[in-house]
Amino acid sequence: MNICVVGVGYVGLVTGVCFAEKGNVVWCVDINENRIEMLRRGGIPIFEEGLANLVSKNVSCGRLSFSTKLDDGLDGSDICFIAVGTPPRENGETDMDQILSVADDIGRCIKGPCFIAVKSTVPVGTNRMLCDRIGARLRERGVDHPFEIISNPEFLKEGVAVADCMKPDRVVVGAVSEGARSLMRELYAPFAHESKIFFMDPASAEITKYAANTMLASRISFMNEIARLCDAVGADVRSVQRGIASDRRIGEHFLSAGCGYGGSCFPKDVTSLCGIGEAYGLDMTLTSAIEKVNRAQKLQLPLMVRRRFGEALGGVKVALLGLAFKPGTNDMRGAPSITLANDLAEHGAMIAAFDPIAQENARDVLPPGVAYGSGVMDVLRDADAAVLVTEWPEFLSVDWAAAGAVMRRKILFDGRNVYDPAALEPLGFEYYCIGRGKVPS
């Protein structure tokens, strides 16, 4: 098939290259000229395992092209995917500017019958709204090309996005016509067995995406609340986690307590779902509590540091290990490291930080005084405390005996509960973590 993907970010680029890898001819279109220029020169604007190789392979064999002009991608395409951002506004509502602007562009460009699939995460009713918007542009042009908007939310996980896209757990398709359903069936056949392609109405597809993310976020917030209870009563949240994960009705995923969830999706999607319900006059008590718990959880690490060193952190050097919102990505959106670094900087701490991949993006969002190191030992040198924020694999094998020798004080805050106090305490480390009874008094 000939495919156009509009929006070449984490979702659009990964989706586009995976469609190309399965033999489709794909145009990826973005208004960001620097991004398109970089891709044309062989650069990759985001970090995802395996992405760079797939992009260069598919560009070389002529199946993947990049443009800033929608016409280049839309001409002759069987389907156009929209994968632009839907960030939150200050008031928590979804900012629809990018997606409505794409709808206008599509309405001005299409030259014949067209299927348009929405991969962006969008509030219920967007499918209808885009129909109206594109229809209005077509009427202005005095043309009447038939088109259908398909809701096809994306569930890939940053860090393993290529693998997720190539082998999705399921494909959700909100479509009204048999033509749209059959096109999507054909397109996704190389990716997923037909039993894993779920057809439904567009509104249900739109809600499915929000419900999935909110469910996952709720499990994390729930475990973080249990972690606080564990700290209060002297229990160990990791034992509790094992105890409940073994229940097949519960399962093992998304039950790790830590320093709060981040990323570009969970915080905004939970808030957005809440807003959607409230707009329909519903009481969204449970959903609104999920983000409230998470906001409080992101403050746990800085609170622990201040409880240990006092409110005035002048002269205290804190080394942050990991900055990205999770391992495997350079995405800093909503990362707990932002809350932590801002809080520590406000209280006068000297901050040294290292992340294997996200450091460049971090410079744009962390306070200006943060010093970036070239490796773990570099930032730990003369540090009064280390804080593990993102559990990159290389941080799991730190030689803490050697690290202790270069640190000014051997104090470790483990925001992800990955280290073993029985190994660290004999080395002379004060070890603090989440929900295991090890908090500064």
Ligand X SMILES: NC(=O)c1ccc[n+]([C@@H]2O[C@H](COP(=O)([O-])OP(=O)(O)OC[C@H]3O[C@@H](n4cnc5c(N)ncnc54)[C@H](O)[C@@H]3O)[C@@H](O)[C@H]2O)c1
> Would you name the residues annotated as active-site residues?
265
Q: Is 430 helix (H, G, I), strand (E, B) or coil?
A: strand
For ligand X, what does the binding mask look like between residues 131 and 160, x meaning CB under 6 A? -----------------------x-x-x--
C-beta of 90 vs 144, nearer to ligand X? 90
CB burial of 318-331 (b: ≥16 within 10 Å; e: otherwise) equals: bbbbbbbbbbbbbb
C-beta of 23 vs 125, nearer to ligand X? 125
Of residues 57-116, those binding ligand X (CB under 6 A):
83-86, 98, 101-102
Minimum gap (Å) between residue 11 Cβ and ligand X: 4
Q: Which residues contact 143 (CB under 8 A, 6 or more apart)?
A: none
> How many residues are given for the chain?
441
Q: Please, is 416 exposed, middle or buried when counting C-beta atoms within 10 Å of its C-beta (0-12, 13-18, 19+)?
A: buried
Cα–chain center distance at 306: 29
Minimum gap (Å) between residue 407 Cβ and ligand X: 35
Q: Is 6 helix (H, G, I), strand (E, B) or coil?
A: strand
- Give residue 74's identity as a one-letter amino acid code: L
Q: Write the DSSP string, 27-41.
A: EEE-S-HHHHHHHHT
Of residues 241-270, those binding ligand X (CB under 6 A):
264-265
12 binds ligand X (CB under 6 A): yes
With CB under 6 A, what is the number of residues at the site for ligand X? 27
C-beta of 9 vs 302, nearer to ligand X? 9
* Closest chain position to ligand X (CB): 9
Stretch that binds ligand X, among 7-15, 313-321, 376-384, 423-431 (CB under 6 A): 7-15
C-beta of 9 vs 373, nearer to ligand X? 9
9 binds ligand X (CB under 6 A): yes
Stretch that binds ligand X, among 24-32, 363-371, 382-390, 406-414 (CB under 6 A): 24-32
For ligand X, what does the binding mask look like between residues 316 and 355, x meaning CB under 6 A? ----------------------------------------
Can you say whether residue 281 is alpha, beta or left, with left for phi > 0 and alpha for psi between -120 and 50 degrees?
left
- Rounded Cα gap, residues 392 and 44, in angstroms: 21
Minimum gap (Å) between residue 308 Cβ and ligand X: 34
30 binds ligand X (CB under 6 A): yes
* CA distances in angstroms from 11 to 65, 161, 244, listed in the order given: 16, 8, 33
C-beta of 83 vs 183, nearer to ligand X? 83
Stretch that binds ligand X, among 2-10, 16-24, 179-187, 283-291 (CB under 6 A): 2-10
Minimum gap (Å) between residue 408 Cβ and ligand X: 38
Residue 163: both structure tokens together: 């693998």
C-beta of 158 vs 384, nearer to ligand X? 158
- Rounded Cα gap, residues 379 and 385, in angstroms: 10
Maximum C-alpha span of the chain: 78
C-beta of 25 vs 102, nearer to ligand X? 102
Residue 438: both structure tokens together: 């090890």
C-beta of 73 vs 373, nearer to ligand X? 73
Cα distance from N-terminal residue to C-terminal residue, the chain: 63
8 binds ligand X (CB under 6 A): yes
Stretch that binds ligand X, among 9-17, 123-131, 379-387, 406-414 (CB under 6 A): 9-17
Q: Strands 2-6 and 371-372, how do they pair?
A: unpaired
DSSP H/E element including 149:
strand 147-151
31 binds ligand X (CB under 6 A): yes
Using CB under 6 A, pick the residue from 24, 120, 241, 272 that binds ligand X: 120
Minimum gap (Å) between residue 69 Cβ and ligand X: 10
- Give residue 193's identity as a one-letter amino acid code: H
Residue 313 and residue 301 in contact, taking contact as beta carbons nearer than 8 Å: no
- Rounded Cα gap, residues 20 and 12, in angstroms: 12
Q: Which residues bind ligand X (CB under 6 A)?
A: 6-12, 29-32, 35, 83-86, 98, 101-102, 119-121, 154, 156, 158, 264-265
